[in-house]
Amino acid sequence: MQTLCVVGDDAPTVADALVDAIDDRRDGPVAAVDYGDSVANETPADTETHTNADGRFSLTANGGWVGRGDDRSLVDLLDSLAPNYEYAVVAGTSHHRLPTVVVGDVADKPVNIIADVSTPDAVDIDDLAAQIDDVEPHVTLQTLIDRAEASPLAERSGAIATFTGRVRVKDSPEDSRTEQLAFEKYEGVAADRMAAISDELTDREGVFEVLMHHRVGVMGPGEDIVFVVVLAGHREEAFRTVEDGINRLKDEVPIFKKETTAEAEFWLHERD
């Protein structure tokens, strides 16, 4: 799911215009998400201002989701939307891993800024709508499982095995606490290498689909980093291929990791 956040002055208006522009040139459904205390007491009908959004969602600052009432973070909500939407525009908040448009003065600048303008009128909506297909997508484990299950060979499959790598806070009780991990990939090369590994593993007898995704950017404790999904005829092939897939991804794909602990910051390949 291609996702873009908008924060700052009149973020909902800018986000609405962006939803409309994406709708005009889209290849899939668009979700609009509002964030802030102002929607805490509204009903879902009150928040349906995104005329061209296929889904409309509001999230309060304390995690309440208008329309369902669950407590969930922004990432939790986006994870639930990703299997069904091609695009999402979030107004009023951002996440350190998500590309963000900043309008006006913002006290705490986001990490991943793709546009920083002084006023809403200075936002080039058409340019942003064109850029959204080029930003790093928000891919979830469920997204990959759904793709595997849609395979023409799914009827021959008796197993789907998955692996999820996440940010580990400590290796042992004595270790310094990991505050965040940052990942950068060798653009183009990393994607090509993952695709080649997937193709080679799919050539195995009884393996029908191998899907991989490694997130980039900054991730905090407990956040998901990497997914491997294998569709296979039997569990033996599925388990073996998942293990080989993540091992080869870590060994062969040029993705670089910087760790920030309570005591230091370092690139893992330099320390190794």
Question: What's the pLDDT at 56?
Answer: 56
Residue 136, judged by CB atoms within 10 A of its CB (0-12, 13-18, 19+), counts as: middle
Q: How crowded is residue 8: how many other Cβ atoms within 10 Å of its Cβ?
A: 23
Q: Quick one: CA torsion of 251, 253, 255, 256, rounded to 10 degrees? A: 40
pLDDT, tens digit, 9 for 90 and up, residues 169-224: 888 887 888 888 989 888 789 999 999 999 999 999 999 999 999 999 888 888 99
pLDDT at 136: 86
Q: What is the pLDDT of residue 61?
A: 53
Q: What is the pLDDT of residue 229?
A: 98
Compute the chain's Rg from CA coordinates.
20
In this prediction, residue 46 carries a pLDDT of 41
**272 residues of the chain, pLDDT tens digit each:** 999 999 988 888 899 899 889 888 767 788 888 876 444 334 444 444 444 555 556 655 544 444 444 456 788 888 888 888 899 999 888 888 889 999 988 888 887 888 888 888 888 998 888 888 888 889 999 999 999 999 999 999 999 999 999 999 888 887 888 888 989 888 789 999 999 999 999 999 999 999 999 999 888 888 999 999 999 999 999 999 999 999 999 999 999 998 888 878 888 754 44
Cα gap 17→102, rounded to integer Å: 15
Start-to-end CA span in the chain (Å) = 34
pLDDT of residue 161: 98
For 197-232, give one letter per residue: b (16+ CB within 10 A) or e: bbeebbeeebbbbbbbbbbbbbbeeebbbbbbbbbb
User: Can you give the pLDDT at residue 10?
Assistant: 85
Q: Is 158 helix (H, G, I), strand (E, B) or coil?
A: coil
CB burial class (10 A; 0-12, 13-18, 19+) of residue 123? buried
